Structures are given as C-alpha cells and as structure tokens.
Structure 1
C-alpha cells in the first residue's frame, strides 16, 4: 500500500522532491489557504506540515479503493523494465534400465514488463475559490483525487485479467454460467479449474451483483462468520470461499467471475507509488494539486486464472 508522508521522509528521492514542493507551494494560493486554515486549527504548524497532510489525505482515501493490489502479486521496483523468467513445463518419460538418457535441458520463456503507465488526476481551483473555501471542502476534493487514481488502477488490473483469451485460461475454456445466478457449485468449479493446473487458487473477485447472488448460497453463508464490524467490506473483501479470499469491485464486468492464484498469475510493478504535487498556471489564474503514480503490469501464467462468464446480471 502507498506510504504516508512520515514514512516516505526516510527515502532520499522523496526528501529531495519534497524540498522542491515546499518552494513551489509558496506561490500556490490554494495551498497557502489550506496551510492557513490548518495552522489556525492546530493541525500542523508550517508549509511542510500542510504538504504532508495533503499527501496523507489523498493516500488515506486511495487505500480502500486499491482492490487491484489484492488480486495480483504487487511489488515495488526502481527499474523502467523488468524481465520475468519462467521455466516451461518439462515432460518425464519411461526409459529402459541402463538406456540412453534423453537430455533436453531446462527451457525458459520470458515476459517483459515496463513501468511506463502513469495514472494521474488533478483538481483545479481559482484564486477566488482558494480564498473562500473551507477546510472540509478542501479535504473532500483531495479525497476524491485519491479515490479516482486508485479506482483507475483497479480497473486496469481487472481489465488485464479479463483480457486473457478463453483458450489460455485454466481448463482451456471459460466456465459457462448459463445465465443463472452465481452458485456454490460454480465457485467450486472455478476453484477446481485452477487447482487442476497445479496452482493454488487463493483469490476470487467479482461484481457486487454476483456477491449478492453468492450471499443466497447456503454453502457460502455457512462457511462465513462476518462480525458486526464487517469483514473488511470497505476494502472489497467480503469473505472466504474454499481457499480463496473473495473480493468485490464495481469495476468487474457484471456477469463475470475470476478465480486466480495471484502470485504466479501476474504482477503489478510500482515504480512510483501515489504521490502529490502542487501545480499552477498563473496566466489563467488556475492552481491545484495533482496526484499520480507510475506502474506496470502483465500476465505471467494465464493457466493460474479461471473465469466464469454469463452469470445472471440482476439479483
């Protein structure tokens, strides 16, 4: 998960960038107004504290929406490109006692993943807005930045899985839902498809409509104990089925469900996690904050993914 301001101060690149941000922020009317209000309320004491708070508000709002990081192996990197090497499956054979040994050597294939995808969003204010805005209004707009960046990241990871061709999935085909509601037997069938490829299915994700359907399955309900506080519902996790954590996201296609072994299935590389920067266009009288991240992602083993499709799209 993205780090808060205090944790990032231990990283040299962030310290250098943060010092530049403080200099740029001096001419940004919105940040000055934010700093003035925050110091008045005793939330922080200087411009550095204001910028740190801005970063933390955005990150805190992003975290509940980073469902994508829970359905794929997620790693940080300092490289623009990483090459993942995987051994191709070898085949044993029956030979005669003392016969010749068939030497084929280990065979490999590679997958290159570039961290060249930049996700960003920004908010724009006029000088007049900065002069009149109140603390809660400012924070709500910052929270929206974090939410939108996180949701787009999640949408891209889900699209990555949905883009796998049916013939490349576990079992060499999609599992037909038959236009019926998602049932426990179909959950087991998807789990079995991944296990049948000699992978450990550990994650299942779906649209909220399929979650509603799953909640009518007695087998699923009997396997759960959701306390009154909820089972991390705000972060998309709604329970467990067999060996899989079950997650929901409105970014999933209604009617499709995926079961994956997320470690071998794919990888999300984070070159630069969610950070914030002030920006300004004095000629146009516009000022604001931009939130951004730099990532890369790819599928490594598609056979670690099973997909059920054509489930009923209404409750």
Structure 2
C-alpha cells in the first residue's frame, strides 16, 4: 500500500502498474488524490449492477457495469453518479498520459462540432440566403443531403469499413457484401419540422439509421416485414411486427426493403442521420431473377403454402391408390 507522509507518497510494496494486490483487495492510488481507492479482487455475483448508458463517460458503459461488482461495500450502494466517478478514477489510472490527453482532445472536439455545426445552422443559412438545396427524399421536407457538407469521402469509409462487413454477415442474401454506393442525409422531426414519416421502403439494400438527438419524445420506428416490389403492399403477419424507440447515439441497421415508418415526435426535436447503402451487382441480378426471392416474407409464405398444398395433394393421391389396390 502507499503511505502518505509529509505531502509525499512513499511506496511500501509494489505490484504491476503501481497497484497492490493483497488479501483479495486491489489498491489504487490516484496521483491527484492521496485517498486510497480499492476494488474487490472477486466480483459479487449476487449484486445487480446499474446501467451506465445514460451518463457522459470516457469509457464504454459496459465496462462500468462489469466493474461495479468489484466495488467495496461502502461504495457499491451509493448513487450511480458517485460510483461512476469512483470507477473512472480507477480506470484513468491505467491510461498513459498521452492517451488521456488524446481522449480529452477528442471530447473537446466533439463538443465543438455539436455547438458550432448542427444541422439547424445549415437550415438557417439556407433560409437567409434563399439558397436552393436538394432535400433528402420526397417524403422529408426538412434536412439536408450530406454531400452538400462535403462528407462523401467520410461516408465512403463508413460504408466500406463498417457497414459492409456487418451487412455481409446479416444481409448477404440482398447484396450486403457488395455494397458500392450510398445516399446519406440528415432528417429533422419536431416543432416546426416534419412530424412523422409514412409507411415505406427505402431505395437501398441496407440502411443505417443513427439517432443524433436531441431531446424528444415519441418518434418510434415501426417495422412490418421485408417485401419485394410485387408484395410491398401485402398484409403484415403477426411475427413481423416490431417497434423500436430511438436513443441518441444508438443506430439501427436494417434491410432497405424492410417496410417501416416513424410515429409522430410528440415533443422536442429529433435529428437522425440516414445512410442508404446500395449494391449495383445485386440490382443487376434482380433483373434476371425468375423465382420468388427468399428474403421476401410474403414470397416465403406463399412458397410454404404451395408446398403444403402440394404435399396434401400427393398424400391424397397416394391414399386413393391404396384404397383402389385394396379393393
């Protein structure tokens, strides 16, 4: 343990990274605070940790949820904010000074972007200059195409390095691994903006929908099954009903042919970044496709129904033959 004497810290025993591990207790000393911070070496399996996703943290919230089980008895039942601060001090102890500086710079830069370059500034500039811009699509009256901000290269990298690897796993049957173009835009909902979004499918193979904020209620997405062009207006089956509530900073990745819409934003303002990702190879293949696609829910249902009818007819025919031969 470290001992504080005459304003200095004297090291009595040393473990890796400057920490002490004795009697199933890990001791960490903050450089800026001589007060000892301790964690239990063995987690408390009977403790239900808090969810830290709603706090502004420098580390992944899941790290705090996992680490909470190691908190000492005098800390574990304190408020979530206090526990988060306690654990942050421990985690920061393990970061090199250069990494801590980099994190702080990134945090300041993100805040600068949020304060100085929001979409409403762009809208205000458009209104004041009477500049004509291309709206995101035919359904949204507010928002902007991100290419107008010079973000095309950034979106290329987002699609190639992040979306395509995921889409290749989860949406391989609709060209997820061959995405080669995109249409990115920001949309706004709320006071003096669009209120909701009607039922539709996207002009995309795969769509990324990121909620940027800000404070709002309502605006839930509702999904009602994947459909091909021929069956886009067919009824929704029970197992196809799914609703999703937006959380700022969270994203949804879904098939562009997944029918969906957005319920009214009741209060506040909601801003979402949408990226439609397309595959020219998949679209070319679709032109020559004769059979019903397996990714369409209605096509699969009809195919199963045809198989059921065919099997029933075969069984009936076999039964007739057996009865005839028996007589």
TM-score using structure 2 length:
0.24
| Greater C-alpha radius of gyration | 2
Determine which structure has greater relative contact order: mean sequence separation of CA pairs < 8 Å that are 6+ residues apart, divided by chain length: 1
